Amino acid sequence: MAVKGLDIFKLTPKSNCKECGFPTCMAFSMKAATGAVAIEKCPYISEESKEALSEATAPPMKTIKVGAGDAEATLGGETVLFRHEKTLVHKNLFAVELSDAMSDAEVDAACAKLEKINYDRIGEMMFVEVVGVRFAADQDKFVALVKKVADCGKIPMIITVDAEVAKAAVAVAGAKAIIMGATKDNTEAMVEVAKAADAVLGVTADSIEALHDLVEAIEKLGYKNLILNVGEASIKEAYANAIAIRTSAIKGNDRTFGYPSIVFTNKLAPGNINLQIALASAFVLRYGSIIVLEEMDFNAALPLFGLRQNIFTDPQKPMRVEPKVYEFNKPTGTDPVLVTVDFALSYFVVAGEIERSKVPAYLAIPDAGGYSVLTAWAAGKFGSNVIANFIKENNVADLTTSRKLILPGKVAVLQGDLAELLPEWEVVVGPNEAMQIPKFLRDLQA
Amino acid sequence: MYFEINILKKGNRLGGNKKMPYKKAEQKFSGKINTCEIGAGDAAITIGGENSLPFLGSEGFKTAVGIAITDSPEDWAECFGTIYGDDLNNPAAFAKAAIEKSGADFLLLKLASADPNGANNAVENCVATAVAVEAAVNVPLVIEGCKNAEKDAKLLEEVAKALEGKNVVLFSAVEDNYKTIGAAGGMAYGQKVSAESAVDINLAKQLNILLTQLGVKSKDIVMDVGSAAVGYGFEYVASTMDRIRLAGLGQNDESLQMPIVTDISNDAWGVKEAVFTEAEAPEWGNLEARGIGMEVSTAAACVVGGSNAIIVRHPESVKTIQGLVSGIIG
Ligand code: SF4
């Protein structure tokens, strides 16, 4: 539990008056520390102390909503530094940047790219969630561009330090747009604009100490709907700051830094998309909540969305894939059937190799308890009966006219039994290692 | 437990008005990752030596970036033919070109032709290839077999012998062959031994212990803890690396303080994102750009996870990851 009973006890008058329903102040304090009874039950603890306690017992990192309607997303709310400790709960968002300095043709081209990046990856739609619009010179054009972004269903991020410009843009941006944002020179004006529009305010400062001061100043102005810029001056600083901010919030109980963060890889590596992909990947693991790139084509989207999909998963869930028959390389009903276990890593390795082979094939995955091939076999979860029953129950024979059933080489011992259980199939022993699958499948085809 | 401070002592916090200046929440670690030297003479580099999570300490931690070549390039994407031309089929020329084009810190030679289920190239031929490659470049070498445990034991033993004094990394020893590779390579011929485990902290630990019990010195062991392309179960890679580093640094677990060497060159170029041609996946665009994207993303994720040496395939990926590392170090 977060607050110790003794800490609460020190705030009571220690009079044991029993008004809280407990025999002693100590008994009350111990219960209150576990959250089983509200601090408010004791009328003698000062308001000030109660406020401090509620702050102390609040989660270390705020949860912030960005965007409206279908585009709404949640950031922050994390409680750990590493995903093996407890699930990372709110996936980072990816963003690209536009500007009123771009020609209409350039903007159209960028928008066409954004439309293309919208695809299904293992049951989840992948797309760029946030579009930043950086103010250069032309306010009308800028505002129109922000509106266009909002109309396209993206979360608009208004990038300007000019509070008047921000005010005009946020008026067309929809609820919970992001204003990027506040600096030490415009603090009050920006907070006012963000507050009035209920927007998320991005905070930027020259150093991590200055950022801390600025967040405190903004909180004092009564605004806590913030996102923190890890810095744009150098990769070194941005990386160190991203880690320091998250560590302070989660390990150091520093609520001033208990906010999501934003990383502008386009500022850290301008013109170098490969370095931006590398940086974005590093920040998916190390605490970027919104990660901005210059642009997003499939060479960036395929790895980045895949990585994000991996990292923001529940580490407590067994590493398994759904037992069923998977199809690869567009099989046509005449192609061979491979068998492996439902252990996720085995599946991914085998699936990758079948794809690499480009040979159309089916992959049958029975329920093997989520173990690797040898372990599942040793545990009796991947024997000839399990495989034969799966093939029969799923009517695999109706899927394909091929009667070749390929066993992992490591369980070659099952071949005889399985051939007896599945007389219409030709049970073939496949390779020992997944990397030999492409050659094996091509040879089989020949 | 995120609230451990005594709120009463923080009177100013209860008051609610006073400023709390920023104080860095340091994560202090008692353990330290071993320093391992690879290569000899001018070519030598050291990896490891950090006493904090990657890039957070002041000990001069730097990830080395290597480039992979192979004696069996048939499966490699077309763009490598464009980059290397005929050199692709001559390992020594291939090695020289790879280092010149990429500026990599070290080189991984894959002797895939040795595979008994493939070309089944003879051990002598493969050893000759390793010797020729060594002579062609002036960077440390990592030598990989064909991933057949039995053949690799013979092959890497002979490679260790032929390259005595060159301080190469034998990549890798697994449960089934660590005795031969450890005894011959690590002890008799003074090479470095890489212990290979497949994304499993317990296996990594066990293999390191077995190798040290055999008599290989800790400082002569590196770890290949496994990898996967991003999007393909990389969460297990990320968590395995985090856990290994936290055990070595936080719990001072000496059996997990070896530097990590990660080869992602096969993983990244073996998944459909980097395999499907432009004709097969027209909407995805240029294959070379996709391959580099998969590679730099996977490599960067391993670098921040704690890989002390990362191995990629494309010269552009080497430059990108070197740029990332020098950028983070500043
Ligand atoms: S009401 Fe407050 S003062 Fe009275 S016994 Fe309970 S805790 Fe103590």
B309 vs B54: CA distance, rounded Å: 12
C-alpha separations of B302 from A138, B205, B266, B305 in Å: 43, 19, 14, 5
Check: pTM over 0.90? Answer yes or no: no
DSSP 8-state class, residue B306: T
Are A306 and B231 in contact (CB < 8 Å)? yes
**For residue A320, how far is the Cα from the chain centroid?**
19
What amino acid is encoded at A187 in this protein? T
């004709």: which residue's tokens? B279
What amino acid is encoded at B273 in this protein? E
**Domain A63-311: top CATH class:** alpha beta
Query: For the range A180-183, what are the long-range contacts, defined as Cβ-Cβ under 8 Å and sequence gap of 24 or more?
Result: A180/A132, A180/A204, A180/A229, A180/A262, A181/A229, A182/A214, A182/A218, A183/A214
Gap from B156 CA to chain A (nearest CA, Å): 19
Of B229, B231, B323, the CB nearest to A275: B323
B327 vs A236: CA distance, rounded Å: 6
- Count CA atoms within 13 Å of residue A172 on its CB side: 20
Domain ranges of chain A: 2-57, 63-311, 325-445
pLDDT at B12: 36
Beta-bridged to residue A238, according to DSSP, are: none
Q: Kindly give the confidence (pLDDT) of every residue in chain A, 446 residues in length, as a single tens digit, with 9 standing for 90 and above.
A: 357 788 889 889 999 999 999 999 999 988 887 767 878 889 999 888 887 777 666 678 999 999 999 999 999 989 899 999 888 989 999 999 999 999 999 999 999 999 999 998 877 899 999 999 999 999 999 999 999 999 989 999 999 999 999 999 999 999 999 999 999 999 999 999 999 999 999 999 999 999 999 999 999 999 999 999 999 999 999 999 999 999 999 988 888 999 999 999 999 999 999 999 999 999 999 999 999 999 999 999 999 999 999 999 877 776 788 899 999 999 999 999 999 999 888 888 898 889 888 899 999 999 998 888 888 898 889 999 999 999 999 999 999 999 999 999 999 999 999 999 999 999 999 998 888 898 899 999 87
C-alpha separations of A122 from A126, A309, A332 in Å: 10, 9, 21
The region of weakest confidence among A369-373, B17-21, B122-126, B173-177 is B17-21
A2-57 matches A63-311 in fold: no
B58 vs B51: CA distance, rounded Å: 9
pLDDT at A37: 81
Bridge pairing between strands A361-364 and A337-339? parallel
Q: b/e per residue, B143-172, with b = 16+ CB within 10 A?
A: bbbbbbbebbbbbbbbbbebbeebbbbbbb
**For residue A78, how far is the Cα from the chain centroid?**
11
**Residue B295: closest CA among chain A residues belongs to which residue?**
A303
Model confidence over B239-280: pLDDT tens digits?
999 999 999 999 999 999 999 999 999 999 988 899 988 988
pLDDT at B21: 81
Are B273 and A284 in contact (CB < 8 Å)? no
pLDDT at B11: 36
Q: What is the ipTM of this complex?
A: 0.94
Model confidence over A120-153: pLDDT tens digits?
887 789 999 999 999 999 999 999 999 999 998 9
> Which CATH number does A2-57 carry?
1.10.15.40
CATH 3.40.50.11600 applies to domain A325-445: yes
Specify the higher pLDDT residue, B99 or A53. Answer: B99
Specify the higher pLDDT residue, B11 or B205. Answer: B205
User: Can you tell me whether residue A290 is helix, strand or coil?
Assistant: strand
pLDDT at A35: 66
Nearest CA to ligand 1 atom 8: A25
Neighbours of B49 (CB within 10 A): 17
DSSP 8-state class, residue A320: B
Assign residue A95 a region (left: φ > 0; alpha: ψ between -120 and 50; beta: otherwise): beta
Distance in Å, CA A54 to ligand 1 centroid: 18
**Residue B12: closest CA among chain A residues belongs to which residue?**
A52
pLDDT at A440: 93
**DSSP element (H, E) containing B36:** strand B35-38
User: Can you tell me whether residue B53 is helix, strand or coil?
Assistant: coil
A289 vs A361: CA distance, rounded Å: 39
Q: b/e per residue, B247-263, with b = 16+ CB within 10 A?
A: bbbeeebebbbbbbbbb
Distance in Å, CA A10 to ligand 1 centroid: 11
Q: Is the dihedral of CA A42, A44, A45, A50 positive or negative?
A: positive
């922000």: which residue's tokens? A146
B324 vs B330: CA distance, rounded Å: 10
Interface of B with A in 165-224 (CB under 8 A): 198-199
